Structure 1
Amino acid sequence: MLGGCCCFQGRCPDSAGDGGSDRDPVLLISGIGGSILHSKKKKLGFQTRVWVRILLADLEFKKKVWSLYNPKTGYTESLDDSTEIVVPPDDYGLYAIDILDPSFLTKLLHLTEVYHFHDMIAMLIGCGYKKGTSLFGYGYDFRQSNRIEKLMDGLKAKLETAYEASGGRKINIISHSMGGLLVLCFISQHCDVFSKYVNKWITIACPFQGAPGCINDSLLTGLQFVEGFESYFFVSRWTMHQLLVECPSVYEMLANPGFKWKKQPEVQVWRKQSNDGESSVKLELYDPTNCITLFEEALKNNELNYDGETVALPFNNSILRWAATTRKILDNVQLPEGISFYNIFGTSFDTPFDVCYGSETSPVEELSEVCHTMILPYAACTIVKFCLSNMLTFYSSLGLIFALIQPQYSYVDGDGTVPAESAEADGFEAAERVGVAASHRGLLQDERVFQLIQKWLGVNQEVGRHSKTSRVMDVCTS
């Protein structure tokens, strides 16, 4: 739920002259997976980029990002006690949400899949915005709940900074994906602060009512952020899965069971039944309410090996209870008076809605098989990668490499990740609500989206500007 132009041929300028002082400041807020994360040694302060990185991605991720949820604090905490996960604050918050792997390897492979807000930052600078005066970014630890105190305090501080740096001008927020849920939680907790500092709020691809197909499958089989050949060098789907099972933010994007869907989203399982020695096949259906029983059974044996110890990672009911409270908060948020709200949502892309495991001819015998359904493509296509990351032995021990079932999806209209039905259902009185034919990440590079943003901000692209380049190479971290 992280395209576009080649950063290294035309990098984002630091500014477009001094015209940024006559612009109301813009704050860009990323969604899940849309912020660079560093692992920081608590004693020495040394930092290593762990998300996103291409070289040694899987290894570094498993060593430093795998986490467990602490129900006493509400935070997801890294298994490595000697480190903490931080977001680099460089470039007024823009560095962390610009190019998620700003390394030489990204340039070498021309890996635009890890470009995030890069094109939009360039567009806004071309419209006269200036970093640190009228253009800011907010990246955050997306493992955490959207309403956790640290994230709320960070957003509050960012709004105050932007307000003061611009000479007391109100801020226009542009949020992408889950970043919209973060803003909703902020409004619920700091409505007065939001009213004081914010003028307009533009959401892009926000899963207001959840992202049923993608999130259901993510909890069961993981999430693949980069597709195609580049994914062989990236964090594996299984590695992401072991993180996401312990992430409150993911649970907070489950389908809203209280929303009046045109059709209730389902998880479907063709399951083998045995009665008195006779076998039969039954299609089991799980809606947003009773799918929890499926998650519990499918993940009951889920575990990982970390530092020589086995760590159990079943479906986390403590997180579910936390997320249920978050959903109530989201359902009851009221937009403060005087705030202009705009909604851009993606259309024209097949978007997963129902997820089906097994088939009538190849049913699932045990639900715990479901959470390993995505191993086969990696085992068949990326043996070298597995050897490098010491995963082949693990997968072989499961005894499932040659007996796995690909999930099948039913699709609805949307951006490929969030159904248009969900992204459109903000529940507010919008100044404008526009569907754009683009993918979830593609919306951040889409010309039609840029035209809408320019119109709503009341600015125009200024042609012919020339300025120095911004820092895009990661020179301070390993």
Structure 2
Amino acid sequence: MGLCPCFGDDYEGSENPPADRDPLLLVSGMGGSILHSKPKKFGLTTRVWVRIFLADLEFRKKIWSLYNPQTGYTESLDKKSDIVVPDDDHGLYAIDILDPSWFVKCVHLTEVYHFHDMIDMLVECGYVKGTTLFGYGYDFRQSNRMDKLMDGLKLKLETAYKASGGRKVNIISHSMGGVLILCFMSLHRDVFSRYVNKWIALACPFQGAPGCINDTLLTGLEFVEGFESYFFVSRWTFHQLLVECPSIYEMLANPDYEWKKHPEIKVWRKHNKDGNVNINLESYGPTQSISVFEEALRNNE
């Protein structure tokens, strides 16, 4: 047991011998990785996602971005720094407590406790960080198919495979992390077969996530609700980033999938014809919704 609840427990110092476990890699979903702003020359590295204090200000200054169609990457407006994902604690730090400040730990603000409980449970069950337990956080702004994300995942699988003595890796992915794994499996089938034993996908939007994505593109996204939202990144601020992120568009609804209930957007629209004004509730399916998004974002700045 740790000496202070603000800093949690340290199971790595256990005197019990490590259990016989296949290596396990945890992969986060959209917004489920800590992002740092690292100066290209000199200065301090700053956590810009996730944070509670000064969240909205730092988010606008450091992580607001534009999509570059020439490179395929979403690039920060702040040209003096790079957005990086910390790889501390064998990749687990970036997906554990997303705001690991002492304040969050002391008040136990569980809204930002991402893989924390699962990591603690796995360690108690005999998994050892750096030997049989690893994490993979990534820059969720980017397309899930980009080389940088694919190369990082390949390196993490190789590391887990070698650290465990050549045992194949089991993967647990959450949400958009499943899309990332699917892209990797499609683009690097030989590497996937060489290193991966089993893959468990939790709440993965294989056919898209129309409810979340439609709302995100039209009104923005909030990860924290209620009183805590006043200390977090605002819905509008987040919206200005996400509309520039290819990963969001990769989770639009699949129009060819046989949905039990077809996803749709319902919009009240005003029509003026021959001086007569009518307001109608109109419905748009996955394909027709594209025109709604284009119209809504046409003058976005």
Fold shared by both chains (TM-score > 0.5):
yes
Q: Aligned AA for 2:9?
A: R
SS in 1 for 2:53: coil
CA drift of 1:108 comes to 4.3
Q: Which residue of 1 aligns with 2:285?
A: 287
Q: Which residue of 1 aligns with 2:72?
A: 74
Distance 1:21 1:42 in 2: 42
The correspondence for 2:52, drawn from 40, 51, 54, is 54
Distance 1:193 1:45 in 2: 38
Unaligned runs of at least 5 residues, structure 1? 1-5, 304-478
Unaligned runs of at least 5 residues, structure 2? none
Q: Which residue of 1 aligns with 2:228?
A: 230
SS in 2 for 1:62: helix
Q: Which residue of 2 aligns with 1:186?
A: 184
Distance 1:116 1:206 in 2: 16
Q: Which residue of 2 aligns with 1:40?
A: 38
Q: 1:205 to 1:231 in 2, by over 3 A?
A: same
Distance 1:241 1:7 in 2: 35
Are the equivalent residues in 2 in contact too, given 1:175–1:204 (CA < 8 A)? yes
CA drift of 1:109 comes to 3.7
Q: Which residue of 2 aligns with 1:27?
A: 25
SS in 2 for 1:27: strand
Percentage identity across paired residues of the two chains: 73
CA drift of 1:37 comes to 0.3
Q: 1:202 to 1:139 in 2, by over 3 A?
A: same
Q: Which residue of 2 aligns with 1:205?
A: 203
1:412-448, CA deviations, whole angstroms, 9 ceiling, x for partnerless residues? xxxxxxxxxxxxxxxxxxxxxxxxxxxxxxxxxxxxx
Distance 1:292 1:268 in 2: 13
CA drift of 1:12 comes to 5.5
Q: Which residue of 2 aligns with 1:93?
A: 91
1:128-178, CA deviations, whole angstroms, 9 ceiling, x for partnerless residues? 000000000000000001110000000000000000111101111011111
The correspondence for 2:122, drawn from 108, 119, 124, is 124
Q: Which residue of 2 aligns with 1:458?
A: none
CA drift of 1:9 comes to 7.5
Distance 2:43 2:31 in 1: 23
CA drift of 1:274 comes to 1.1
CA drift of 1:110 comes to 2.8
Distance 2:199 2:14 in 1: 23
CA drift of 1:7 comes to 6.6
Q: Aligned AA for 1:175?
A: S
SS in 1 for 2:18: helix
Q: Which residue of 2 aligns with 1:255?
A: 253
Are the equivalent residues in 2 in contact too, given 1:138–1:155 (CA < 8 A)? yes
Q: Which residue of 2 aligns with 1:367?
A: none
Distance 1:72 1:15 in 2: 49
CA drift of 1:300 comes to 1.4
Q: CA RMSD in A?
A: 1.5
Compute the TM-score of the two structures, normalised by the length of structure 2. Answer: 0.95
Range that drifts further, 26-35 or 109-118: 109-118
Q: Aligned AA for 1:42?
A: K
Q: Which residue of 2 aligns with 1:397?
A: none
Q: Which residue of 2 aligns with 1:270?
A: 268
Are the equivalent residues in 1 in contact too, given 2:6–2:102 (CA < 8 A)? no
